[in-house]
Copies of this chain bind each other. A is one copy, B any other.
Amino acid sequence: MNVAAIPTINSDRLQDAIHQLASIGALPNGGVCRLAFSDEDLQARKLVEFWMMEAGMDIHIDVAGNIIGRYAGKSISKSTSMGAFATGSHIDTVTVGGIYDGCLGVLAGIEVVRVLKENSIRLNHPLEVIVFTDEERSVIGSKAMAGKILEQANYYSRLDGTSIQSCLEKIGGDWSKIQTAKRDKSEIAAFIELHVEQGGVLEHLNLPIGIVTGVVGQYRFAVNITGRANHAGTTPMNMRKDALVAASQIVLAVNKIAVETPGEQVATVGYLNVSPNATNTVPGNVDLRIDIRDLSEEHLENLITKIRNEITAIGMKTKTEITIQQTLHIKPTLAAPKIIHTIKEVCQQLNINSTQLPSRAGHDAQEIGRITDMGMIFIPSRGGISHAADEYTSPEECTLGANVLLQTFLQLDDILSD
């Protein structure tokens, strides 16, 4: 391929789109509030649909409310025999979100199609840009497409308590048919999501591109420690059953196991409540939550075994009673080696430095990766900050990420059309 002839992202057009979308639900502090199913979300969806049409895509809203914009492939006969390439992300935000999280993935996808169209390029594969429904809370859109929706409608709710079931209709979905949203590899041959890192690894390494090796699996545990509340003055040290001393040992054991075990796992005690929480009372009870994430399910299981053993020993040593309850289990999704390889090749060709890293936050790609080959491209988040008004990624970084996405689809199209 002649380097001079490489089709290229229009940086200004991409930035315009990001800032136009950010104006819907904009907050005075520079952040954005666009909760799924809100008026702002509905308005933003309309704008994105408009842009998709303008870029030459056909639009379909599936029963989960996902917006699927489809840019047809080169030859109708050939493309019907092969699944689509897909990209995209989400445009809903947390209560105070940044303007790049999710939106970049959708808008870069539309920009890729715009570039293809203005260069009169059609891939062998159709190319879909997907806006997944409610990634920030229920992940209902990508879960439905992966066929992972539970039967119990009341499991899925919005922040204000209203049911997702009751909200789907206003974005064009239909809860009663939600199970039919499932797609498979014959329909989607590969899914690649561009996203800001939401962490500080790329900035720390001063690298513009991260090639995601997979989205980590996640376990959560609720741990309750019962000691004996007692007078902090009159209870000698050797007669105490101090629940906070036991809890502190658990916090440090979890941290030590995460730090010292070879691997890239993270483990955190982010929540801890002491009872009765009075300066002159030996703590009688502590409630804490452990969160553990890693790319390997087997490695996660080993870590959890280590942590459980430590907790048992701590209970004995501190004469406290400790219960452990698992509250969450999300399995890891690995990126497809051929997508990782193609992104890496693209970076080398474009003289872009990159590194491979896991995604330790959840993404729609995690769900779609359960039904087809998945890949993700990360670009830096300043200060590792996300889900906050000061989330920031420079225009140059956004453009570079979108160019890598574009070139990856072009090359993958060659590889997979053989």
Is B272 a contact of A279 with CB atoms below 8 Å?
no
| Binary B-proximity of A197-221 (CB < 8 A = 1, otherwise 0) | 1111100100000000000101010
Is A271 a contact of B278 with CB atoms below 8 Å?
yes
Q: CA separation between A293 and B384, bound complex, in Å?
A: 44
Chain B residues, CB < 8 A from A274: 270-273
Shortest A311–chain B CB gap in Å is 14
**Which of A4-12, A158-166, A240-248 is near enough to bind chain B?**
A240-248
Q: Is A180 in the interface zone, CB < 8 Å from B? A: no
- Given A204-B239, A252-B252, A255-B242: A280 and B272 within 8 A (CB)? no
Q: CA separation between A244 and B270, bound complex, in Å?
A: 8
**A221 to chain B: closest residue by CB:** B279
Is A236 a contact of B264 with CB atoms below 8 Å?
yes
Q: Is A289 in the interface zone, CB < 8 Å from B? A: yes
Chain B residues, CB < 8 A from A269: 244, 283
Chain B residues, CB < 8 A from A281: 268, 270
Chain B residues, CB < 8 A from A247: 248
**A360 to chain B: closest residue by CB:** B233
Is A199 a contact of B235 with CB atoms below 8 Å?
yes
Q: Is A232 in the interface zone, CB < 8 Å from B? A: yes
Is B237 a contact of A259 with CB atoms below 8 Å?
yes
Q: Is A231 in the interface zone, CB < 8 Å from B? A: yes
Residue of A218, A249, A274, A359 with most chain B CB atoms under a 10 A cut-off = A274
Residue of A198, A258, A268 with most chain B CB atoms under a 10 A cut-off = A268
Q: Is A157 in the interface zone, CB < 8 Å from B? A: no
Is A244 a contact of B272 with CB atoms below 8 Å?
yes
Q: Is A121 in the interface zone, CB < 8 Å from B? A: no
Is B277 a contact of A273 with CB atoms below 8 Å?
yes
**A267 to chain B: closest residue by CB:** B237
- Given A271-B279, A277-B272: A200 and B248 within 8 A (CB)? no
What are 22 of the A-B contact pairs (CB < 8 Å)? A197-B234, A199-B231, A231-B360, A231-B384, A232-B270, A232-B293, A233-B361, A236-B266, A237-B259, A237-B265, A238-B259, A244-B272, A245-B255, A248-B248, A248-B251, A268-B279, A268-B280, A270-B281, A271-B279, A272-B274, A272-B283, A273-B274
Chain A positions near chain B (C-beta within 8 angstroms):
197-201, 204, 216, 218, 220, 230-239, 242, 244-245, 247-249, 251-252, 255, 258-259, 264-274, 277-283, 289, 291, 293, 359-362, 384, 386-387
